[in-house]
């Protein structure tokens, strides 16, 4: 079995996947970053509201 024939398609596939990922990141990279920040801020806000709710319930009810 010739290992060069097996390695060449794998190298081409990996190169193609890398190029595709780079192009996708150029098109959508900023949007993904903004969505991650939005998700983190939403999670922090949700956690803060939950803590306040628990504090109010334990304090007044």
Residue scoring higher pLDDT (9 or 36): 36
The domain locations on the chain are 1-61
Output the six-digit token pair for 14.
Answer: 């990996």
Q: What is the pLDDT of residue 10?
A: 63
Residues 6 or more apart whose Cβ sits within 8 Å of residue 43 = none
Where is pLDDT greater, at 39 or 21?
A: 39
Instruction: Provide mean pLDDT across the span 43-50.
Output: 96
Residue 13: pLDDT band by 50, 70, 90 thresholds? confident
- Mean pLDDT for 35-49 is 94
Res. 7: pLDDT tops 60: no
């Amino acid at each position: 079995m010739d290992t060069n024939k097996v390695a060449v398609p794998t190298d081409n596939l990996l190169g193609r996947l890398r190029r595709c990922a780079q192009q996708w990141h150029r098109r959508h990279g900023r949007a993904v970053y903004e969505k991650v920040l939005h998700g983190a801020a939403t999670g922090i806000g949700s956690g803060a509201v939950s803590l306040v709710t628990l504090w109010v319930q334990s304090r007044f009810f």
